[in-house]
Structure 1
């Protein structure tokens, strides 16, 4: 009898992956393809929609072929995606009218600055801030800067979608124009309290309702792949934005559960149950997941560059050849090495939200070398995470431990330094593909392959726990210097 499995599509910022998971959460087949990043102007970041589709499709075909060869039966598809990245396409052709504008893109900073009088309304309804990070101003920019786009939208010919919506459209042959609540809530157009697109916000951002997808639960019937797409038609049953999918994959189902994912950026989400906890410290109140019409909320802190710091070391200034070199380099220095990197490569996210910030290095001497740069790049991620958890604590939400995942946490030195700086236990699961796994779990719930959360949690296993070892005085000294560096960077950005 064939093994029953779920195909998880994980469409990220730098690559598209497909992983076939067994029901106990083990990867059985996989494929991954990177794609190009485009930087047409300072602060602009774009992806080619066709490259996104082609790499995703190729990864799926390869993973499915491997599954078939092993006698595995894929019965459902889950999708997780880079959030906020914005696409607008022509419904008649399925072709995007402009490149995908990536979540990191800062081109609409002036638009956001001009709307600050509406900040309270936006925060109250969406739980978000006014920032180029979110999708609404990206949609408006495309409609205003692509010739004839607004007329096409008014005629009902255009569709907007985050990456999940675009992939579902392609996979279903244009039959499904849908998203889920976790992606909808990242647009600045979705009211997280009544679970719907908000007419007042649509008017504020000048986005026509006709371009928007329908919003479904995170475990739902999103459509079935078209006849010609794969070797058989497969239902799409789970969708969640990447960070919410990671929260789900880490089994953070209880109020107070905290996870932090270290991919291109870093995102810490703390489950707040059925309470949409407002933040006084510029964190985001967001949808963790929506199941059977019931919304579970989370408090989120977003760091724009985490793994991207290491990519910069490798591809930008070329001080390392492969990412794993950073651990040995970091271990070669003492805590008082003196170099600090504030990685504002795409502005600074929570709790500062300064789109004009740029990366700054402090404390360099003639003796500064590759090791200092590598360690500063890793340490910056930990310091920024400490800023997020401090803000959460001030908002009345705290946790005694944090589950971590993402490519960076394979680095033991990073995990230990993170525990030292946060002064809480850092837990690394055996299965670190939490984002893809979360999408698979959602699909499995809808298919009835899991009866409840407890059955899913039963598959979770701890790889290693890191307990804080750093002296209080050392931690305090490092965090104080970090804050001086951050404030200096912000002062320069605002000068």
Structure 2
């Protein structure tokens, strides 16, 4: 492809790492760069990052992806930004410098505020910014009138362009969204917490004309044409925008998300309605169930417990045995998400005997993840007209053992996206649509899959194994 300024650049900042991806209009990935993001854990339940350092990492991966593709910023026609959701970044309005640590989505210091907000009649969850923004302001020691705040997507777009914006897919999950009017911020909640409206970003569409990069930052003025949260961007990567379309992402945490069409729908008390994307005059909604500990469980078994030298070694160990025996693992080191909503729950390894070793634990851990996804899939499939196959992506989807266990547990085919980094890929595709390079009808051809896993056990065997697991872990 010629260097004609039509390439799509995605910036994807997750919980444990940031990546940039360069994609051509045919959907081919030309270059990727990824670098880790460090978290601090100052006390149990507290998770912080350095917002300034995250920006520097993001700036570096943009250069890295361009270099990997042998291209320059002049070859980029549009940029899409996607990030992990519900983190809190607070910065000085005059200097543009962060004034407090970034409070990561999994930080639980907002538990007391969450309970107080619920008691006052506001919609809230422990992880959402409305439960944590007051704590961030207190950490800064500053007057809120002198500050601006945003979720990570808002911060990175601000650093790229100077625009203080966010979209509905991120704004919906802040706890501040004005659900009654379908846009803007909840004035009653802002008044309740004594927060000025000037603190908040403007809301823009998920793709379209959003902002333009500052020439001093990237060396060129490039349109930012997509701004969408990471799990919703992954839906775009699968072309999953219609009611009943679904996908699973296996990352640091795991998410099973399904579209509900043009109206919000709550399918379970632990799976509230969310905005998928607001763009082009159309509003799309979704629901999701979260497995809080997926890829992070693998990292903990390798690094924290030291059972395996690497995730690859753990995968080999899990594949070396045909069964986990009586060993069961509940992957809930950071609480149990949907459909339980048990924020205080912790991980569990049970059923060990002298006959068991690391291989059985490895396989049981992967099976525990697969069973947690089955719990969520059953709720969603009962409420929505989902297709037979489950499309999947995410770093942990590279595990053939997990994907086969998932197909067995669900008794459904599991189709693995050829681009594991679906959030970045989806952000690039959304940017392409925002720039007018293609339309929604192109998403299906751009979603390519490199493997399909079919169930290898029967329904009775799968149901019996699932029942044994639930009996062992629901203590």
**TM-score where L is the length of structure 1:** 0.91
Contact preservation (8 Å) 1:236, 1:443 = yes
The match for 1:108 among 95, 107, 110 is: 110
Q: Summarize the alignment of residues 73-472 of structure 1 with structure 2, pairs less than 5 Å apart.
A: 73-118=75-120, 122=123, 130-147=124-141, 149=142, 152-153=143-144, 156-172=145-161, 175-192=162-179, 194-204=182-192, 207-335=195-323, 337-396=325-384, 398-450=386-438, 452-472=439-459
Contact preservation (8 Å) 2:244, 2:384 = no
Contact preservation (8 Å) 1:131, 1:353 = no
* Structure 1 residue aligned with 2:31: 29
CA–CA distance in structure 2, aligned partners of residues 346 and 222 of structure 1: 35
CA–CA distance in structure 2, aligned partners of residues 270 and 40 of structure 1: 35
* Structure 2 residue aligned with 1:60: 62
Three-state SS of the structure 2 residue aligned to 1:252 is coil
Contact preservation (8 Å) 1:136, 1:207 = no
- Once the two structures are overlaid, the 10-residue window that deviates more, 342-351 or 191-200, is 191-200
Residue 427 of structure 1 deviates from its aligned partner by 0.8
CA–CA distance in structure 2, aligned partners of residues 473 and 484 of structure 1: 16
CA–CA distance in structure 1, aligned partners of residues 447 and 246 of structure 2: 15
Contact preservation (8 Å) 2:244, 2:387 = yes
Q: 1:35 to 1:336 in 2, by over 3 A?
A: closer
CA–CA distance in structure 1, aligned partners of residues 369 and 193 of structure 2: 33
Residue 219 of structure 1 deviates from its aligned partner by 0.5
Runs of 5+ unmatched residues, structure 1: 123-129, 489-495
Runs of 5+ unmatched residues, structure 2: none
* Structure 2 residue aligned with 1:50: 52
Q: Alpha-carbon deviations, 1:249-293, whole Å to 9, x = none?
A: 111122211101001001111111112112334212111111123
Contact preservation (8 Å) 2:165, 2:203 = yes
Contact preservation (8 Å) 1:49, 1:96 = yes
Contact preservation (8 Å) 1:20, 1:27 = yes
Three-state SS of the structure 1 residue aligned to 2:149 is strand
CA–CA distance in structure 1, aligned partners of residues 386 and 114 of structure 2: 31
Residue 396 of structure 1 deviates from its aligned partner by 4.4
Contact preservation (8 Å) 2:366, 2:405 = no
Q: 1:353 to 1:71 in 2, by over 3 A?
A: closer
Q: 1:376 to 1:212 in 2, by over 3 A?
A: same
CA–CA distance in structure 1, aligned partners of residues 451 and 173 of structure 2: 32
Residue 211 of structure 1 deviates from its aligned partner by 1.1
Three-state SS of the structure 2 residue aligned to 1:222 is strand
Contact preservation (8 Å) 2:323, 2:360 = no
* Structure 2 residue aligned with 1:40: 42
Q: Alpha-carbon deviations, 1:116-145, whole Å to 9, x = none?
A: 3356x52xxxxxxx3222111111211234
CA–CA distance in structure 2, aligned partners of residues 56 and 313 of structure 1: 28
Contact preservation (8 Å) 2:73, 2:219 = no
Q: 1:26 to 1:205 in 2, by over 3 A?
A: farther
Q: 1:118 to 1:343 in 2, by over 3 A?
A: farther
- Once the two structures are overlaid, the 10-residue window that deviates more, 185-194 or 132-141, is 185-194
Three-state SS of the structure 1 residue aligned to 2:216 is coil
Aligned Cα root-mean-square deviation (Å) = 1.9
Three-state SS of the structure 2 residue aligned to 1:84 is coil
Three-state SS of the structure 2 residue aligned to 1:228 is helix
CA–CA distance in structure 1, aligned partners of residues 71 and 188 of structure 2: 52
Three-state SS of the structure 2 residue aligned to 1:115 is helix
Three-state SS of the structure 2 residue aligned to 1:455 is helix
Q: 1:24 to 1:136 in 2, by over 3 A?
A: same
Residue 205 of structure 1 deviates from its aligned partner by 5.2
CA–CA distance in structure 2, aligned partners of residues 202 and 160 of structure 1: 13
Three-state SS of the structure 2 residue aligned to 1:368 is coil
